[in-house]
Amino acid sequence: MKLFMYNRISSYIILLKFALLHIGKCEKWNLIFEAKGKNFFDNFTFVTNNDPTHGYVNYVNKSTAVEEGYIETLLNDDVYIGCDHTNIATGRGRDSIRIHSVDKYLYGLFLLYLSHMPSGCGTWPAFWLCGSNWPYEGEIDIIEGVNNNNYDSTTLHTSAGCDFQNVSRNFTGTVKNSQNCDAFELGNSGCGIESGNPGSYGSIFNSEGGGLYALEWTIDGIKAWFWNEGSIPSDALNGSNPDPTSWGIPYANFPFGDYCPASMFKGQQVIFDLTFCGDWAGPAFAKDCPGKGGCKSYVQNNPEAFEEAYWQIHWLKIFAQE
């Protein structure tokens, strides 16, 4: 009897400790980084290498971006990140911007609040996270689409060993392609989930005044939410003490387990870029933009078509779990 009581009490203590640990783990997110206004680019580097996705693009350095007006802090403290929309493109392609965060992050809550994203035929913008040794340290695409898409896709790319094909999970979006995340399979399509909101990407997103994206990455998995302007939860909009447990079902959900261990993802840099054509927008161009000829020729010879190809960002905030 004494042994039974001891075991039962011990079990209660273990369960209580686990519950307290779990509650503490999810209790609070602390702000560790904010990019906003004139200081937005302080912790980013401008990458000028050839585009790894084979886009028709010429990524420029910071001094060129400032001189040509491709980046700017606006009167309302928003940040503008655009491209050349006045000249016929030459050389590597149309001038544009690609920036990587100086710091790397292992887990976190990433909130991006913006009023405009690049849109239009030939464009391929992305806001994403990526490890240094791709794809062995993982890639998490938060905002991504091409041409005239209206639905955002959140996609993972990894090395072999991450496949959600037969995994039960709760989300509101739509499975976009195979749920095998292996970058060396199926043409590197990754395992993507498309938001069910037609205002989550492109010109409709812009016409509705933008919105806020949230990505939660913990040892338990990756989840993504999106809200258009006017429907953003106050704790996410204020960005002081966000509580993902109150945000309802995410549109994308990738829980970790034996089928995709958390170790597939290492320290990630935050990346913004805008390329043109390339491995995705190029092949999709004829279907998405009929009657406009080839993608490269269109991007090269129609600079005025890229006036809407810009980011206008209120702020980016990154939180770490307490």
Tokens of 256: 């970790």
* Higher local confidence (pLDDT), 51 or 240: 51
34-57 per-position pLDDT tens digit: 999 999 999 999 999 999 999 999
pLDDT band at 27, cuts 50/70/90? Answer: low
| Burial category of 19 from C-beta neighbours within 10 Å (exposed 0-12, middle 13-18, buried 19 and up) | exposed
Is the pLDDT at 6 greater than 90? The verdict is no
CA distance 84 to 67: 12
Is the pLDDT at 13 greater than 70? The verdict is no
Quote the percentage of the chain above a pLDDT of 70: 92
275-297 per-position pLDDT tens digit: 999 999 999 999 999 999 999 99
Query: What is the chain's mean pLDDT, rounded?
Result: 92
CA distance 220 to 214: 16
Residue 279 has a pLDDT of 97
pTM listed for this prediction: 0.91
Q: What is the dihedral of CA 234, 249, 19, 30, to 10 degrees?
A: -40
Question: ∠144-148-152 over CA atoms, to 5°?
Answer: 30
Mean pLDDT of 194-214: 97
Name all domains of the chain by residue range, CATH numbers in brackets. 30-321 (2.60.120.200)
267 within 8 A of 105, measured Cβ to Cβ: yes
Quote the percentage of the chain above a pLDDT of 90: 89
114-147 per-position pLDDT tens digit: 999 999 999 999 999 999 999 999 999 999 999 9
Neighbours of 189 (CB within 10 A): 17
> Which residues lie closer than 8 Å to 87 by C-beta, 6 or more apart?
95, 303
Is the pLDDT at 25 greater than 80? The verdict is no
Look-up of token digits 């010429």: 58
Q: What is the dihedral of CA 219, 225, 230, 234, to 10 degrees?
A: -20
Tokens of 112: 């991006």
CA end-to-end distance (rounded Å), the chain: 41
Catalytic residues: 139, 144
